Structure 1
Amino acid sequence: MNYPNIMKTMELIKELVEIPSPSGHTNEVITYVENFLQDLQVTTTRNRKGGLIATIPGKETAEKRMLTAHVDTLGAIVKEIKPSGRLKLDLIGGFKFNAIEGEYCQIETSSGKRYTGTILMHQTSVHVYKDAGEAKRNQANMEVRIDEIVHNEEDVHALGIEIGDFVSFDPRAQILPSGFIKSRHLDDKASVGILLQLIKQIKTDQTELPYTTQFLISNNEEIGYGGNSNIPPETVEYLAVDMGAMGDGQTTDEYTVSICAKDASGPYHFELRKRLVALAKENGIGYKVDIYPYYGSDASAAIRAGNDIVHGLIGPGIDSSHAYERTHQSSIEETTKLLWHYLQSKMVN
């Protein structure tokens, strides 16, 4: 059997994370994915929210599968232009200001101009501020230093920067000889890269799937509603492919596929979870079953929206979620293998 080439998947993930796409401003990355799929002659449509749906016909059309991964990322938006010419931010997504302290960023104006900057504490200089280390990392104290000559608010306006402009974070993506990829936004562009490479392999091998399968590349997951709509009534199984959460008390690691039993929304469908575990065992795939205590997915959003589906969640294990993240090619590979076998398996009864 031909699994997708993992190094090509890693390289695709790196390309994806380098495209700015904070929730609410994802057209560039959606267009990239759309072009990738259209080059494979895969039928795609966009929903009104700006997400992308790809369809691969299968033997069975009365019952369908849907898989989803999201290209939207954490980010920020300009909340205020300070008298000093620096910017105050409002966060997009569930993370803390300390996770972006010292990060390079990009501000994009409504006209499309892009400027770089750095996210810093107002009290950064230890030679001036006695409380530089103890001051709270919050909206009041964090600001963007723009890499342009600006002395005041008027200078910033002259650049075209206004309240409501989107701010994205430099991913600083690296693929390392040890097999790790470290970058911001592996949540969830690692999963998007995996799905795109799976679709490419299916098309290249002319593999016929047992069910017509749709792939939703959602664009509002980080704010809670990316995958809660556009689910055809024929959909029986709905599998979110998203990062596995690592930390104290977790079994998820950077080397296996994580199968989620429960997150903050409650348990995932028990029979589908058992089927995923069985597929992993049958095919020698390294896996871990885990609970993510402070987490929600497109699959849980779909359930909350009232969809009558069997829902599940798997994904590569990602260290330091919502900060500077990392995973290993082993986790990418094991996730790819489980999805490959899942796509060709029978649905749960």
Structure 2
Amino acid sequence: MEHIINDLVTLLQTKSPTGHTEEAITLVEKRFNDLGLLSYRTNKGALIATLEGQDSSQAITLSAHVDTLGAVVKEITGDGYLKLSQIGGYAWTTIEGEHVSIETINGTYYTGTVLTNVASSHVHGAKTNATERNEHTLQVRIDEKVFTKDDVLKLGIQVGDFVHLDPRTTVTDTGFIKSRHLDDKACVAALYAVAEHFVNTKTKPRYTTHFFISNYEEVGHGAASSIPSDTVEMIALDMAAPGTGQTSDEYSVTICTKDSSGPYDYGMKKRLIELAEANKINYKLDIYPYYGSDGSAALRAGHDVRVALIGPGVDSSHSYERTHKEAIFNTINLTIAYLQ
């Protein structure tokens, strides 16, 4: 698992908020090309890499998304702070106190911190706790000597500039990976490992397999287009969400049976369960009422494919997330078993 986790850490530390994913897509592209897979880009900038199967009459597509949560500058205040517009669906409370980097259009980076406009309890007293955290009360304090809007503009910072959330990636001796953006970079790393398995063992999956790395999943239309036309089945690999009322955990692969877009394919679910049990792969079954995937996007766009959804359990989704290497390992093994 060590090199898989190293791949994951490298990817986690590569900035890729939705709409600005070129660096991460290039990294993933090189990884697949180094394995000898042929790949191409879609017009939207997604990556599709292909592994030849024993049978090329039809194909299976595996998807994972490289785009992450983030923000852009919405407003520069008169006293030199930045107001934000969200990229992706996260609670404002989850980014309070987070370190960020602001990227200007010419590629200059400035650091900063997300704080409320009443951050000091010594100044604002009870108001600090009582203030709701939202787009109006949270702002970025820039680590530069700025006192006015003009001071900020002179740095080259403009409305629309990307604001990157610090992933703060840590790998513990006990096998946990703590980081922002495990959704869904943990699954991108898992797809590397799946492809690597077949290349290194000089074996082929039963059917030609496409690896679809999408770049607009967090805003809902990642795999809405460009699913390869020979695809008959699609498995979206995305994080599973442990929590109260859920069966998912940080050590298993979860087979999602239903989310906000409805139930996933029954036959595929049944086969995945049978394979997990036959291969002694730790798995869970779960339902996510506030969740959608690239599989959801493909179905809503009208693609005539059967779709399943699996992934490693990731605690505190869309916040400071955590998973365990066992969950990634189980996800890899179930995917390989399905392809064989």
Q: Per the shorter chain, which TM-score range? A: over 0.9
1:165 is aligned to 161
Q: Which residue of 1 aligns with 2:118?
A: 123
Q: Which of 7, 11, 20 is the matching residue for 1:12?
A: 7
Residue 34 of structure 2 aligns with an amino acid whose one-letter code is: D
Q: How much does 1:52 deviate?
A: 0.4
SS of the aligned residue for 1:338 comes to helix
Work out the CA distance in 2 between the residues paired with 1:189 and 1:230.
21
Counterparts of 1:147 and 1:203 in 2: how far apart (Å)?
A: 47
1:205-263 CA distances to partner (integer Å, 9 max, x unpaired)? 22112111100000000000111111123211000000001111100001110000000
Q: Can you list the C-alpha shifts for 1:60-86, whole angstroms capped at 9, x where unaligned?
A: 112110000000000001000011111
Give the whole-Å Cα distance in 1 for the aligned partners of 2:108 and 2:37.
33
1:147-166 matches, within 5 Å, as 147-166=143-162
TM-aligned CA deviation for residue 7 of structure 1: 2.1
Which residue is equivalent to 2:197?
Answer: 201
How many residues align? The count is 339
Higher alpha-carbon deviation: 70-79 or 196-205: 196-205
Counterpart among 304, 311, 314 of residue 308 in structure 1: 304
1:187 matched to 2:183? The reply is yes
Task: Give the alignment partner of residue 64 of structure 1, picking from 51, 59, 64.
Answer: 59
Give the equivalent residue in structure 2 for 1:31: 26
1:88 is aligned to: 83
The aligned residue for residue 105 of structure 2 is 110
Q: Which residue of 1 aligns with 2:129?
A: 133
Task: Using the TM superposition, give the Cα deviation of residue 58 of structure 1 relative to its aligned residue in structure 2, in angstroms.
Answer: 1.0
Amino acid at match of 2:8: I
CA shift digits 1:143-199 (9 cap, x unpaired): 001111111111111111100001110011111011111100000000001101221
Distance of 2:336 and 2:206 partners within structure 1: 12
> What letter corresponds to residue 90 of structure 1 in structure 2?
S
Gaps of 5+ in 1: 1-5, 345-349
> Could you give the per-residue CA deviations for residues 299-340 of structure 1, whole angstroms, max 9, x where no partner exists?
011000001101000000000000000011111111111011
The alignment-based identity, stated in percent, is 51
Q: Deviations over 1:82-131 (max 9, x none)?
A: 11111000001011110000000111111111111101111000111120
State whether structure 2 residue 41 is matched by structure 1 residue 73.
Answer: no
The AA in structure 1 aligned to 2:67 is D
Residue 275 of structure 1 is matched in structure 2 by 271
1:195-344 matched pairs, under 5 angstroms: 195-344=191-340
Inter-partner Cα distance in structure 2 for 1:37 and 1:309 = 24
TM-score by length of 2: 0.98
CA–CA distance in 2 between the matches of 1:149 and 1:197? Answer: 46
Q: Which amino acid aligns with 2:112?
A: G
Mapped partners of 2:186, 2:14: distance in 1: 13
In the TM superposition, structure 1's runs of 4+ consecutive aligned residues that sit over 3 Å from their partners are none
Q: Distance in 2 between matches of 1:18 and 1:47?
A: 24
In the superposition, the TM-score normalised over structure 1's length comes to: 0.96
